[in-house]
Structure 1
Amino acid sequence: MRAIHRSAAFGLIAALALTACGSGGDSDDNPLAGDSADSGSGKSIVVGSANFPENQLLAEIYSQALESKGLKVTRKFDIGAREVYYDQVVKGGIGVFPEYNGALLAVAVDKNSTATSTEDINTELKAKLPDSVEILDSAEAQDKDSVTVTAETAAKYDLKTLADLKSVAKDWTIGAGSEFKTRTQGGVGLKKVYGVEFGTFQPLDAGAQSTLLKLLKDDKVQAANIYTTDPAIVEDDLVVLEDPKSLFSSQNVTPLVNKSAVDDTARSALNGVSAKLTTADLQNMMKKLVNDKEDASDVAEEWLTTAGLVS
């Protein structure tokens, strides 16, 4: 599951994190954070992020959406892993955090959960989260595992879903992180749920995403476990095969908030982001952030403006 081991799995993208530390950052020492809005009346909402670029970008989107409603925001980005930041949200040190619902449930809330769909995951989260916190509306946008092929391969073999691999996989090689082979949400599940078993498995280190992409484009592997917001999906015209049976658990971008930190105006602003944000949007924004080296605050502002959430 991508979000559970995100700091390792992000590979090249993670290497571009502006500050990769395990302790909390603040607006004074984080280039993505900007200045804390400490003027005017009313308390400031602390918006946090984990220590990888996509999550920092999402936190910046949340921050600007809140500020567009006249709310004061303090940015506390680059905090670290879920084991570090989750407790801060529960205790109220952080008011708003961009989460991934499937990983939040499986890592922080109920490690024994078997829920995979967005609806089931969110139902369990609403029932099991501590009383001090809640999730708001989930976005369509997800950053999750996938089995991905090139556009040429998809067209040649008429591949649309994971089930379509059944007749060809036995002659193919799939490339993925070494753990993929034995995971339920990986090789084991592909066989059990879809009857798909690849002839050869090519293991790679979690950080070898660029190598995996080259192998896929060079047809050294015919399918690859690529995460759904990887900019290469857009840039290289790759095809993410659909997963109608929800083998890979949903990882919808979902605001996690401390109830005491947000009012109805804040909730409305954050839910407005979720209503507009798609996986394709994230792919495009990550391309601008990682490949084109654009500033995160500019990328966030451009998306919010295009989505009609700020003027």
Structure 2
Amino acid sequence: MHVRRSLLSLAAVGALALSAGCAGDDLAEDDEPSTSASAQAGGEVTIGTQNFDEAVLVAAMYEQVLDDAGYDVTVKEVGRRDIYVNQMPDQVDVAPEYVGGIADFMNTTVNGAEAEPITTSDTTETVEAVTPLLEDKGLVLLEPSPATSQNAYFVTQEFADSEGVTALSDLEGRSVVLAAAEDCPGRPDCEAGLVDTYGIDVTEVLPLGFASPQTFKAVLDGEADLGQTGTLDGTLDDQGLVLLEDDESIQPAQNLVPLISQEFLEQHPDVEERLDELMAALDNETLGDLIARVTVDREQADDVAEEWLQEQGLVS
């Protein structure tokens, strides 16, 4: 499947406008477009996403599902959530998100870094709590997926064995350097939770990225003691790394969920059905297997997404 990732040229835009104008000439004078006719499938859509493997894979699924529905899709891959969320709804229409992640981001953005957390382990409660904040920005969450990918933290297998460390609580009172995403400091599911809940002395956060090669390398080389990845990471064993149990449960509900512009959704209601079908088809086992093909087997995310979507009948 060939899916365009660049913006339409001005010439193509002109051609579309001309085509639309000609189509309008076919209407009888007393024929008024119905509401459903003014909210049709197709047109341009921009997807914003973070650029770690899991997010890129899910964005590829969005891209191909919407391409199959007749949309001309542009994908913007960026390093941080705040970049594409701040471009919504004017420059970005849709984004693959995580329930707890977007809730934490909106809460601290609107109410300040010291705001009381609105995330919990309950998906419905978290969605309800963040909905008013999103509505004020003209955004809405669609139906969350059963698949959930939470933050997780790892050490080397050698360190775990020698120190008898199997859970984050085993690091209480220890001083550690943490390699993690840029937005980790102050987050209750990252640096703040490790400090406040687990009593870990995080002396420095190295902003090397979520589950990035740089983060893995920093821990393996001893530059960092603790690294951040996701609960579905299938690469750790082969690297000599091991996840630590989140035994105090600082991770909120992190179900995959589409974040979408309310205005775009009103103009293109068919998008909701297509993305809801995609979300419903994903579960942890499926997502874990697909992510492993990208992160371990080094298959292209586009190829993995296309094969699975066709198997599920989600694209033609």
TM-score normalised by the chain length of structure 2: 0.63
RMSD between aligned residues: 4.4
Q: How does 1:148-227 map to 2 (within 5 A)?
A: 148-150=154-156, 157=164, 159=166, 161-163=167-169, 165=170, 169-170=172-173, 173=176, 175-177=178-180, 184-194=188-198, 196-197=199-200, 201=203, 204-206=206-208, 209-210=212-213, 212-214=215-217, 216-217=219-220, 223-227=226-230
Q: Is the 8 A contact 1:148 1:241 kept in 2?
A: yes
Q: Residue 271 of structure 1: CA displacement? A: 2.0
- More strand by proportion, 1 or 2? 2
SS of structure 2 residue aligned to 1:76: strand
Change (3 A) 1:99 1:212: closer
Residue 148 of structure 1 deviates from its aligned partner by 1.8
1:147 maps to: 153
Which residue of the partner structure matches residue 27 of structure 2?
none
* Alpha-carbon distance, 1:186 to partner: 4.0
* Unmatched 5+ stretches in structure 1: 1-24, 30-35
The match for 1:50 is: 49
CA distance in 1 between counterparts of 2:64 and 2:183 reads 38
- Match for residue 134 of structure 1? 140
Pick closer, same or farther for the CA change 1:239–1:64 going to 2, 3 Å.
same
CA apart distance, 1:58: 1.9
Q: Quick one: distance in 2 between partners of 1:288 and 1:272?
A: 22
Once the two structures are superposed, the pairs formed by residues 1-311 of structure 1 within 5 Å of their partners are 26=6, 42-44=40-42, 46-50=45-49, 52=51, 54=53, 55-66=55-66, 71-78=69-76, 80=78, 82-83=81-82, 85-86=84-85, 89-91=88-90, 94-108=92-106, 111=109, 112=111, 114-117=117-120, 118-130=123-135, 132-142=138-148, 144-150=150-156, 157=164, 159=166, 161-163=167-169, 165=170, 169-170=172-173, 173=176, 175-177=178-180, 184-194=188-198, 196-197=199-200, 201=203, 204-206=206-208, 209-210=212-213, 212-214=215-217, 216-217=219-220, 223-228=226-231, 232-233=235-236, 235-236=238-239, 238-243=241-246, 245-258=248-261, 259-263=265-269, 265-278=270-283, 281-282=286-287, 284-289=289-294, 292-305=297-310, 309-310=314-315
- Pick which of 242-251 and 175-184 moved more: 175-184
What residue identity is the alignment partner of 2:48? S
Unmatched 5+ residue regions in structure 2? Answer: 10-15, 24-36
Question: Between Structure 1 and Structure 2, how many residues are aligned?
Answer: 270
Q: Residue type of the partner of 1:75?
A: V
Q: Distance in 2 between the 1:110 and 1:216 partners? A: 29
Structure 1 CA distance for aligned equivalents of residues 97 and 186 of structure 2 = 26
> How far off is 1:250 after superposition?
4.2
Alpha-carbon distance between aligned partners in 1 of 2:275 and 2:231, rounded to the nearest angstrom: 22
Deviations 1:8-29 (A, max 9, x none): xxxxxxxxxxxxxxxxx63569
Q: CA deviation at 1:211?
A: 5.2
Could you tell me which residue of structure 2 aligns to residue 17 of structure 1? none
Query: Partner letter of residue 6 of structure 2?
Result: D
TM-score if structure 1 supplies the norm length? 0.63
CA distance in 2, matches of 1:133, 1:115: 18
Report if aligned partners of 1:101, 1:252 keep a CA contact under 8 Å in 2.
yes
Cα separation, 2, equivalents of 1:183 and 1:270: 29
The question of whether the paired residues in 1 share the 8 Å contact of 2:118 and 2:126 is answered with yes
